Every structure is written in C-alpha cells, then in structure tokens.
Amino acid sequence: MHFIKRPSWDTVKSSDITPESVFNDRRNIIKALGLGAIGASIPGQVQAGIFDLFGKSQPSTPFITSPLAFTVNKGFESSEAKTPFSKVSTHNNFYEFGTSKSDPVENAQGFKVDPWSLVIDGEVDNPITLGFEDLTKMMALEERTYRLRCVEAWSMVVPWVGFPLAALLKKAGVNSRAKYVAFETLFDPDQMPGQKSRLMGGGIHYPYVEGLTLAEAMNDLSFLAVGLYGKSLPPQNGAPIRLVVPWKYGFKSIKSLVRIRVMDKRPPTSWNQLAPQEYGFYANVNPDVDHPRWSQATERRIGEGGLFSATRIKTRPFNGYQEQVADLYRDLDLRRNY
Ligand SMILES: Nc1nc2c(c(=O)[nH]1)N[C@H]1C(S)=C(S)[C@@H](COP(=O)(O)O)O[C@H]1N2
Ligand SMILES: [Mo]
C-alpha cells in the first residue's frame, strides 16, 4: 500500500517536477524511523502516525477571503487566458504546508493572518511596521495579471491585487548603503507543519528566505500581492502578503512575508542554500539554460483542464518580460548567473 504520494515527476513524465531532494529526504526519514522500504508492510498504527506527519488527517473549515477595493492597471491586462481560480488555489508550492501540490490547500485553511506584522527595516531612513489592516489600506491597490513560471516547468496566468514593492521601499527611504533586499516568511511551526519535520518541509532550513538586488526590487514589475481574483489571498497562495517577481522562477515569489530587510550584502536564499548547482540567486526565467535535471525550453500552461491536459508552450526569456527587465542584466553572464 502506498501511503506516500509519489513525486510528481515519477508519474507525470518529466514535466511537472518535485525537486528530487524532497523524495530522497522522505526515503531517508522513512529509513531513519526504521520502517524499511517504501511500500513494505507497516503496522496500521505506525502508518497512522506517518499519515499525521503528512498532515492529511486534520479536517479543516475553509479560510475566509474578503473582497478588495482596487483599480485595474491597464498596462498589465492580459490577452492570455487566465488560469481559473480553482487551479490557482489548489495547485500550489508552499512547502511550509507540505511538499505535494495539493498539500497547501489541504493543510493551510486554519492559518491565522490577523493579527499580522510585516517589518521593513535595515538600510532605510524610516523603518516601517505594517499591521494586518495596513496591508490593504496603506497603499493604493491595483490589479495586474502576470504569468507565473515555476522552475518545475509549469506555468499559470494570475490576476494579482497589490502594489509595487518600490512604493513601499520609497516610503521607508532606502539609504546609500543599500544594495540588496532580503525577504522572510513567517516562522511558526505550530501553524506550519513543514517547519516541524524535514519529512514535511522538503529539507529547507526555515524560515524560507529570498532576495533581490536593489535594482530588481525597484523595477516596476516587482509586486507585493495581497489578493488574487479580486479577493484577499487564500493562505495557500501566501496570505496575507507575498512577493511576485514575474520574470523569475516561482520560488523567488516568497509567501506570507513578515520581514523585508534592505541590506548592503547579498542575502542567502532558501533554494540556493539547499541545492546551489540547481537554483541560483538570480533565477531569471531562461529557456536557454536548462536545469541540470530537466529542460527549461518549454512549460505546461495550466488552464481550464488542469495539469494533465495543460498545453505545452515555449518558455520565453525573462518569462516574456524582457522589455522591462533585460537592461538590469546588461553586464551579467546569464549562463553563469542562473
Ligand atoms: N514561503 C514560501 N514561499 C514560496 C514557496 C514555498 O514553498 N514557501 N514556494 C515557491 C514556489 S516554488 C512557487 S512556484 C510559488 C507558487 O506560488 P502559488 O502557489 O501561489 O502558485 O511560490 C513560491 N513561494
Ligand atoms: Mo516553483
């Protein structure tokens, strides 16, 4: 009996890939627990214990999202079909809630986002702390439809609601030492089971951290989303506030932010720390630079029919945003700086 979901790359060809480290990590933990090979007969009680570790046994009442007031940014309307909300909110990567695509929606419904506190500090003249209400009230909200391209070679088109990261950084007043911006997700293992066990958390050292150069952070595309499809974010998509950097692989778009720290040095980033040969600091979408274990030339666009009927399309440099961002990398060898 298979009580462990096989990694998606094992059953969905090579196209929708869970990083291999996750699978190996699960095997090692099963071994460490003395349970032998996956699929071996395991007493019922022990199985139930493992089941709990994956967080599948908790019943959940759905998280409540609320409508937001915003204007549509005409510059970011899309001619492409949007990925339906039913897919955007059920096919997720949020390892704090489990490593399979369906884990976040199943495990995050009880997530508490009010009260919340987001700190903007470091190399700034006026550090800011935003409370839960401030997240949707302090800045004028706009809707922007962006493509999201995961490093695992699937993609979506999502109407986000939020505000440019640069607007918030300008309020904080970035000083002359500033070169990078670091981002940090909430650390709360009681709420985020993936932070409790390496089995659930994919081997990442929590809290999940990310980073951008200051120029990237100040680019108009860099966006802080507080909602999608006109309503506040569901927890599985990074409630109450997450970063969206559409020209980079999805793992840069860090969720459920509690800190934005302006720095004079390049900050560590979670996937780069875990597997530096596979995941770089820049992580710009680039069809010409393959992941060591799979091609990045094409992607599966998730639409009405979902992953299995998704259409395969060509991946574009910078995810199609080259006009807005290519200039940032004029002097950079993108093959070395993947
Ligand atoms: N804190 C945190 N942020 C995260 C992740 C995560 O596991 N933890 N996964 C990343 C990855 S790999 C992707 S593809 C996107 C997915 O965003 P979505 O679930 O809203 O589509 O979130 C990114 N942000
Ligand atoms: Mo991703």
Report domain extents, the chain.
Answer: 20-329
How far is C-alpha 263 from the chain's CA centre? 22
Q: Looking at the domain covering 20-329, what would its CATH class be?
A: alpha beta
Dihedral (Cα; 271, 273, 275, 277), 10-degree rounding = 110
Q: Is 11 annotated as a binding residue?
A: no
Residue 83 labelled as part of a binding site: no
Task: Please give the structure tokens belonging to residue 254.
Answer: 């860090």
Q: How far is Cα 105 from Cα 91, in angstroms, rounded to an integer? A: 8
DSSP classification of residue 282: S
Q: Is the CB of 184 under 6 A from ligand 1?
A: no
By the 8 A CB rule, do 327 and 32 touch? no
pLDDT at 12: 36
96 lines ligand 1 (CB under 6 A): yes
Q: What is the pLDDT of residue 253?
A: 99
- 235 CB under 6 A from ligand 1? no
Question: Is residue 316's pLDDT more than 70?
Answer: yes
Report, as an integer, the average pLDDT of 123-137. 98
Average pLDDT (315-322) is 98
Instruction: For residues 316-337, give the mean pLDDT.
Output: 97
pLDDT tens digits for 192-218?
Answer: 999 998 888 999 999 999 999 999 999
The string of pLDDT tens digits covering residues 70-129 is: 999 999 999 999 999 999 999 999 999 999 999 999 999 999 999 999 999 999 999 999
Chain centroid to Cα 95, Å, comes to: 9
pLDDT digits (tens, 9 = 90+) for 267-292: 999 999 999 999 999 999 999 999 99
Supply the pLDDT for residue 28.
46
Give the model's confidence band at 313: pLDDT under 50 very low, under 70 low, under 90 confident, else very high: very high
3-state per-residue secondary structure call for 48-91: HHHHHHCCCCCCCCCCCCCECCCEECHHHCCCCCCCCHHHHCCC
The confidence score (pLDDT) of residue 20 equals 40
Is 18 buried (19+), middle (13-18) or exposed (0-12) by CB count in 10 A? buried
pLDDT at 231 exceeding the cut of 50: yes
Predicted TM-score (pTM) of the model is: 0.86
Residues 6+ apart with CB under 8 A from 46: 35
Q: Which ligand is nearest to the CA of 94?
A: 1
- Ligand 1: does its nearest atom lie under 6 Å from the Cβ of 254? yes
d(CA 68, CA 65): 9
Q: Which atom of ligand 1 is nearest to the CA of 255?
A: 3
Instruction: Return the pLDDT at 305.
Output: 75
Give me 104's structure tokens: 């976040």
Q: With beta carbons less than 8 A apart as the criterion, state whether 298 and 152 touch.
A: no
Task: Flag whether pLDDT at 259 surpasses 80.
Answer: yes
Q: What are the phi and psi torsion angles at 147 (to 5°)?
A: -80, 140
Mean pLDDT of 137-148: 98
**Strand-by-strand arrangement of the 180-185 sheet:** 128-131, 117-122, 257-263, 180-185, 209-213
pLDDT score at 310 = 77
End-to-end CA separation in angstroms for the chain: 40
Task: Tell me the HSE value of 182 on the side-chain side, using a 13 A CA sphere.
Answer: 20
12-53: per-residue pLDDT in tens?
344 345 554 454 454 444 444 443 343 334 333 333 343 344
